[in-house]
Amino acid sequence: MERYSTSIDERATFGRMNILRSFVDQEGNVGSGDIQILHSTNYGAVEMISGADSTPVACNFSFDMAGVDKLLHVVILALCNKSSMYFVCVTTATTEFDFGTLTLSSLKLLGDAHLNNGSVRLTNDLAVPTSGAGKVLYSKPIRFRQPGTHSITSFITFFSFYISNLNPSSIGGGLAFVISPDSETIGAAGGCLGLLNTDGLGSGFVAVEFDTLMDVEFKDINGNHVGLDLNSLVSSQTGDLGAINIDLKSGDLVNAWIDYDGTNHVLNISVSYSNLKPKEPILSFIIDLDQYVNDFMYVGFTGSTQGSTEIHSIEWWSFSSSFDSISGPGSSSPPPPTTSLMNPTANSVKSPPPSLARTGSDSISSQEKNSKSSSCHNQLCKQGPGPLQGVTASAFLAIFAGVLIWVFSKRYKHVKKTESFASEVIKMPKEFSYKELRSATRCFNANRIIGHGAFGTVYKGILPETGDIVAVKRCSHNSQGKNEFLSELSIIGTLRHRNLVRLQGWCHEKGEILLVYDLMPNGSLDKALFEARTPLPWPHRRKILLGVASALAYLHQECENQVIHRDIKTSNIMLDEGFNARLGDFGLARQIEHDKSPDATAAAGTMGYLAPEYLLTGRASDKTDVFSYGAVVLEVASGRRPIEKETSGVGKVGVNSNLVEWVWSLHREGRLLMAADARLEGEFDENEMRRVLLVGLACSHPDPLTRPTMRTVVQMLVGEAEVPIVPRAKPTMSFSTSHLLLSLQDSVSDCNGMITISTSSSENGYIGDDIV
């Protein structure tokens, strides 16, 4: 009896190989045989013994191909005898997945790690400083090294994350992308980042850390760096993120790319606020990972707090590995997610179609050598590879090709053709069926209405398949509603930021235009300010303003094309369960190339939030968004709407109808803090309130060139930049009639008597100070 061995990658084929106790005689009849499994380990080799008189055996196994739900059973004939063995096996050495294709069962959560609104939080969301650690792993091990060789897989991973703080004065912790052989335990909190225990013990690992605290013990260069950790928390390579203007503690979304070339052993680490991968990595060096990885490893993230209130959130993750050269999500700008972990619709892994691979070649070669010194015991061996083997191989290939064609044809029959105008939208979120959304909203029942927008009605819905609670926006049937639908879908569908309302999907059937969003349990900011039974606490207000500023900084400066929102107001700012701001309603938004002048259009938006130059010229820019944000800041701080009728009620005697004018008058009189919401009853930090009010006035400056950028606003709110000197008296801004591309009648059709034009100072000019 002789032993034949072949390596079967069971993980890659998602199935268990079974060696059948059968054989084929010379006439092609199947009978009993002397084939038995000696050894079968998880993800290991399968050894079998063939009797001396054995003939071709049948091998049956199943696998899940390219995310297809049904198991395919492929019978592979292998010709085995004493002198030679021909074994054909279908395997794949490629692993590929992302947040858009993972299901909940595809992730393993350890420690404090938990899911939150489609993202993964590695640490707890606690307002009290604490120390904790969390870990999330892709649940299946990934082959990193070929057995018996020193060949290491190439891999590319891209992920988006943010680190925010419920208490900015409480800092300490970080997160890391980790490659580990251990999927059951988690390391210590604090500076250990969940990678190792405090005694330094733990399984070997490869990690790329993003650290927010300088630990002298681990020889950190500062409290804002990226580092490569190899079985140790003392990084072998480090990069200062401040050198590329990245601040991990800013709360902004950070994108990271980690690429490893298994052939040339080159590791590149790139970090950016932008979705575009930087041309130059922050770290690039040669490292052979062979000594740090096993044949199979787990990939994922760890994070920890170190006596702080830091939140570590993974918003998007994609991973691809192959022993061949690969180009994956790290090679270009990342695609937007089409689904989320909270609403999975795809299988856990996207795999390319399996390919035929010849296995056991070394065994074949050695068998051919041994055959020279031994006699043959059957005619098949004497004849050598003849017609039977050729016919068998051809038949197998034909069957396998037919199976592939059948599978893919069945799969693609389910792809629906969209309406003609949908081709205008690129990278769209999920398409829902009208039946599904009609059921979710109980036939668009009036009792499910939770809001009304400029171009449609918003309903509360419960998706029947997943039970997820969503907001369904039913757009108006007119052409303007359709245009808003296209604008909103094409813009917000390509954006991803923690302070933007997430668009789950859309539907265009039966003449209906529907958009599906995450439902924000705390409603809109205007309702929280003016309709709640208790006043919104100051810490919540400050956090909301910071969140909106962060979202606008992302839209204005971090997107590939600058996005101008054009309708920033408190009713378009939604609040999630933690009273975090989510900017929504992108129906009026426009995309323009950076550094390109905007075109003039009819002014759109809401009175009280519109910049004076926008009303007169019709040109929207990032500075017009800044003005609108300034109005929101003053509204949130004072608890008053931007435009109010004169009222003689308690607490409102003598209040100007225009909020900006009123706050500026208090500033002129040296009584700025009198603008604070009286309902807060003094429960706020005076320095913070003064800073916020000055930021609001700076953003409301009549001269658009004097207004700060939203990135600067973020820095001012967190105390990293000083608020510019705001003049006591509100400046005036003159607009020449030569700059008015639109008439006032075209710009604003009805201002309810709130706009006054002054022509007394100049025959050919308008005084911007009088436009409110």
Q: Which residues are catalytic?
A: 567
Contact assessment for residue 583 and residue 632, using Cβ atoms and an 8 Å cutoff = no
How many degrees, rounded to 5, is the angle at CA 692 between CA 720 and CA 559?
Answer: 60
Q: Which of 670, 690, 689 is nearest to 680 (CA)?
A: 689
Q: Spell out a b/e string for 517-553, using b for 16 or more CB atoms within 10 Å of the CB, else e.
A: bbbbebbbbbebbeeeeebbebbbbbbbbbbbbbbbb
Q: What is the DSSP letter of 675?
A: G
473 is an annotated ligand-binding site residue: yes
Q: Where does 413-523 show beta strands of DSSP type E?
A: 430-431, 449-453, 456-462, 469-475, 503-509, 512-518
C-alpha radius of gyration, the chain, whole number: 32
Q: Which of 229, 199, 429, 189 is nearest to 312 (CA)?
A: 189
Assigned token pair, 107 = 């992730």
Assigned token pair, 457 = 């009605």
Hey, how many other C-beta atoms are within 10 angstroms of the C-beta on 580? 21
Assigned token pair, 733 = 């801004």
* Gap between the Cα atoms of 420 and 568, Å rounded: 31
Longest dimension (CA), the chain: 116
Backbone angles phi, psi at 478, to 5 degrees: -80, 175
Q: What is the DSSP letter of 553?
A: H
Q: Return the SS3 of 353.
A: coil
* Gap between the Cα atoms of 192 and 186, Å rounded: 10
Hey, how many other C-beta atoms are within 10 angstroms of the C-beta on 331? 14
Hey, how many other C-beta atoms are within 10 angstroms of the C-beta on 325? 9
Contact assessment for residue 765 and residue 759, using Cβ atoms and an 8 Å cutoff = yes
Assigned token pair, 136 = 């999330």
Contact assessment for residue 504 and residue 513, using Cβ atoms and an 8 Å cutoff = no
Contact assessment for residue 138 and residue 319, using Cβ atoms and an 8 Å cutoff = yes
Q: What is the DSSP string of 711-755?
A: HHHHHHHTTSSPPPPPPSSPP--EEEGGG--S-HHHH-S--TT--
Which residue ranges are tagged as binding site? 473
Which residue ranges are tagged as binding site for ATP? 473
